[in-house]
Amino acid sequence: MGLKVAIVGGSGGIGRALIDELMARYPNVEIAATYLSTAPNDDGVDGIMWAPLDVTNESAVAEWMQSLGSVDWLINAVGVLHSDVHKPEKSLTQFNPDWFMQSMNINCLPTLLLAKHAQAALKQSDNPVFATVSARVGSITDNQLGGWHSYRASKAALNMALKCIAIEWERTLNKARVLSLHPGTTDTLLSKPFQQRVPESQLFSASKTAQFLIEHIADAHAHESGRFIAWDGQTIPW
Ligand SMILES: NC(=O)c1ccc[n+]([C@@H]2O[C@H](COP(=O)([O-])OP(=O)(O)OC[C@H]3O[C@@H](n4cnc5c(N)ncnc54)[C@H](OP(=O)(O)O)[C@@H]3O)[C@@H](O)[C@H]2O)c1
């Protein structure tokens, strides 16, 4: 049996690059990918099956997971940092409860819903991986600058969720490797407004980031489940 990978948020900058990297590395890979707003035009091409999915909707997540049968790797690349009306907060005066809840809803909740409904699919794999693209700014230990309250808090909550999933699955799905991945600053729509001060050498193309992340996913051992891993393989403190 070949590798079967579910990519949630495959329409995003990093999500799309993960799909392309998987296809380049594993010519027989089967990919089930999701989008929210714009349907990609390669449905059914080269082993990619696209589905629309609002990953904050539990019944939609459950239905999609059930439709997949077995899955080897599930990678969640969904996330939000800003919108047309909201920017990451520079100070508490900019804090907005609705935006905070949207950030939690998109950055944290889906990983718990996916974990709940992916268990049966991952149990059928000999090599299961459950990974979410998080962000270094979700590290409490690493936080020296403050600000970005909603994004940081939602990514810290995401990291706690991943740690809890890893601990629970040591008992119930013990082959699974549960990973929280920091991609590094990557040239996508999400980072576009914040790239000016990033040195060129620290701004990765999405394809470079995807190479790093797929390498870590492919190499992760069972004892590394529950790790927060950066693009360069370093463990980030929670
Ligand atoms: N880019 C960076 O520098 C950077 C750095 C650190 C961490 N990250 C993290 O990396 C991940 C991917 O970011 P990116 O840079 O690739 O961003 P992006 O290009 O803006 O992509 C975001 C993805 O999230 C999807 N999405 C948003 N809300 C959704 C919902 N309710 N249901 C389903 N899908 C939803 C979007 O779907 P549609 O496009 O179909 O609407 C899109 O596929 C995020 O978690 C982000 O926090 C990125």
Residues with Cβ within 8 Å of 128's Cβ and at least 6 positions away in sequence, in order, are 71, 72, 73, 122, 173, 175, 176, 177
Full-model pTM: 0.97
The pLDDT > 70 percentage for the chain reads 100
CATH classification at residue 62: 3.40.50.720
Mean pLDDT of 13-23: 97
pLDDT digits (tens, 9 = 90+) for 196-222: 989 999 999 999 999 999 999 999 988
Q: Closest ligand 1 atom to the C-alpha of 194?
A: 3
pLDDT digits (tens, 9 = 90+) for 183-203: 999 999 999 999 998 999 999
In a domain, 161, yes or no: yes
Distance CA 191, CA 13 (A): 10
Pocket of ligand 1 (CB under 6 A): 9, 11-15, 35-38, 53-56, 77-81, 106, 133, 135, 183, 185-186, 188-191
Residue-number span of the structural domain to which 124 is assigned: 4-230
In a domain, 235, yes or no: no
Mean pLDDT of 156-165: 98
In a domain, 236, yes or no: no
DSSP calls for 157-211: HHHHHHHHHHHHHHHHSTT-EEEEEE--SB-STTTGGG-TTS-GGG-B-HHHHHH
Distance CA 144, CA 70 (A): 42
CA of 1 to the centre of ligand 1 (A): 30
In a domain, 21, yes or no: yes
The pLDDT > 90 percentage for the chain reads 93
Q: Find out whether 110 and 61 touch, Cβ atoms under 8 Å.
A: yes
In a domain, 224, yes or no: yes
